[in-house]
Structure 1
């Protein structure tokens, strides 16, 4: 059985990088593939088709990672653009339920339909499940919350949504790559890949259930959504792909060139192994802070002075909602945890001296 340690030499993370929830660091195969493509682009050494093969590879790899058929996976550039056709398909007066700390890429696309009577209501993370009740037409929620790191009980949300016949749209941007995911029972599972999937910005991958494919209009349709891409360049004859590919946006080639080898590498390592590694380090950090263990690779903590202490120590993390947010991934180590705890120990001593 592979372990994360077996692949550690594929990354060149500088000590103290605890901010994958903002962006992930590329492994060597992705970096080298991107540099090769950029070199070819610079001198015009190839056509675009070899770069585009990476789009197919990324689509197929993502499908395997979430237990879906590749025919039900679309490609795009941002989560909000991927959600937009679903929002446009909602009937007038529909009600959408979101978490009250939901990242706005999964909020604003619904809210812009307020003029059609679409209403967005929210519930706290703890109360979300209870809020899935008759009258809710669609549930839009993250598999892992960006600001807090809270992991959604996806099976429970799927069951509750099915019970009332509500559509379920899941943003997996803070989950895909470290949290095992299963698209079964979900209507849409969409992720950007520049965080835990460690790719350049510009790659979004999403699963659409056959039911949702029939409900939605492919508003972003262009040449790449054609049934036969190379015969969809010109003219007024439109024949779109019969599956989720008709929701494709024309891909950002170089971003996909790097994304494909990352996704395939994650498959080789195994998401379960990555999950154990990431959560283990997060819990090591939590223990050092006197916090109970959790099931998340993201640690959110209210520690006054932590941001300055981290900056002084050269540790790169984030502050979200006024709280320190540290995130741990494949290239994170126990040495990174200790570096962070040492920096925060100085803060603790300073606070004690003020008491």
Structure 2
């Protein structure tokens, strides 16, 4: 079942059709910042892979092509070359590679209230003298000078606020400060060109609509040698299938040296979802998502934010009414978090409005 490559999501035969794909997602599902809903082409691919697993039909090397294709699609979405992307399993795992590699005594700047999968890996390096300093998100660019690394999310998990990437890039270049961007809450709904950053990490199971168990670390080539391969393993070998036994160490020359042994089913699903997303005009996806969030905020007499994520201060009664109306949301930092993605429509906005204005 297919739909036009753009335009508002609509329902046909129980399926939502949007941006050229079908989604088995119920009305009121606004919890994408927690768990993204895959297109049916992805669930079909994973289901077929599970069936092959159950029939003993696969060999380990059969999944290498999925790892390669998912890597290439992710690279396209964030503005890197595929050779500069390492495949991992979670956001904190790939961010931890950077955190564990910064020199002793490094000064790291992070956003106040940042998602801890980005900040905890650095805070855990305190025994090496690594000092982590928090600043308000809006002040990050002006506070860069005097720090060795800035680690910040492109879009904040708690409320959808965006860091000023242009200002951060300029400030970091002037100060000679390395930049680690977490794009987990951005890739899949925003057009991104992040190849200027030293490192970009992202987990796949939210806006990228992939199974949990896939994440990537994109590395600018001149920042690769600064990373220590703390989890060196056979899959990071120049030729993984010739790197299984015995010394000497023989890792890939590219960022692939940082790969960990892949979560196979996650990579199967990531290939399907990311190759689909990489064919879309992300400016159109962003316009669609932001139009819905801003429409909701206007109905609630609140100013638009320009983000796909909405954070609302609701009382217990309002939260109960949302749940009874079938609205799926998240609770973050004491507020109700909603996210509008490509499969959402005006129907979802109306559900929320009716519940809150009841």
Q: TM-score range by the shorter chain?
A: over 0.9
Identify unmatched segments of 5+ residues in structure 2.
9-17
Q: CA deviation at 1:38?
A: 0.2
Moved more, 85-94 or 146-155: 85-94
Match of 1:39 in 2: 51
Moved over 3 A (4+): 4-9
Moved more, 165-174 or 4-13: 4-13
Deviation string for 1:271-300 (max 9, x for gaps)?
112111111111111111111122100011
Match of 1:349 in 2: none
Q: CA deviation at 1:309?
A: 1.6
Deviation string for 1:273-330 (max 9, x for gaps)?
2111111111111111111122100011212233212112121101211111110001
Taking the aligned partners of 1:80 and 1:267, their CA distance within structure 2 comes to 24
Match of 1:353 in 2: none
Q: CA deviation at 1:52?
A: 2.6
Q: CA deviation at 1:49?
A: 2.6
Q: CA deviation at 1:182?
A: 1.0
Moved more, 210-219 or 14-23: 210-219
1:141·1:170 contact (CA, 8 Å) conserved in 2? yes
**Does residue 1:2 correspond to 2:8, yes or no?**
no
Q: CA deviation at 1:4?
A: 4.5
**Does residue 1:161 correspond to 2:172, yes or no?**
yes
With structure 2 as the length reference, what TM-score do the two structures score? 0.93
Match of 1:299 in 2: 310
With structure 1 as the length reference, what TM-score do the two structures score? 0.94
Q: Over aligned residues, Cα RMSD in angstroms?
A: 1.3
- The one of 91, 95, 98 aligned to 2:103: 91
1:96·1:118 contact (CA, 8 Å) conserved in 2? yes
- The one of 178, 190, 210 aligned to 2:201: 190
1:34·1:257 contact (CA, 8 Å) conserved in 2? yes
1:94·1:117 contact (CA, 8 Å) conserved in 2? yes
Provide the aligned length of Structure 1 versus Structure 2: 345
Taking the aligned partners of 1:195 and 1:108, their CA distance within structure 2 comes to 20
1:1-355 equivalent positions in 2, closer than 5 A: 2-5=5-8, 7=19, 10-133=22-145, 135-305=146-316, 306-346=318-358
Q: CA deviation at 1:101?
A: 1.2
Taking the aligned partners of 2:193 and 2:48, their CA distance within structure 1 comes to 34
Deviation string for 1:8-30 (max 9, x for gaps)?
65101111100100010010111
Q: CA deviation at 1:233?
A: 1.1
Instruction: Give the secondary structure class of the aligned counterpart of 2:197.
Output: coil
Q: CA deviation at 1:45?
A: 1.4
Taking the aligned partners of 1:9 and 1:219, their CA distance within structure 2 comes to 40
Q: CA deviation at 1:261?
A: 1.1
1:183·1:207 contact (CA, 8 Å) conserved in 2? no
Q: CA deviation at 1:120?
A: 0.4
Instruction: Give the secondary structure class of the aligned counterpart of 1:35.
Output: helix
Instruction: Give the secondary structure class of the aligned counterpart of 1:173.
Output: coil
Taking the aligned partners of 1:138 and 1:151, their CA distance within structure 2 comes to 19
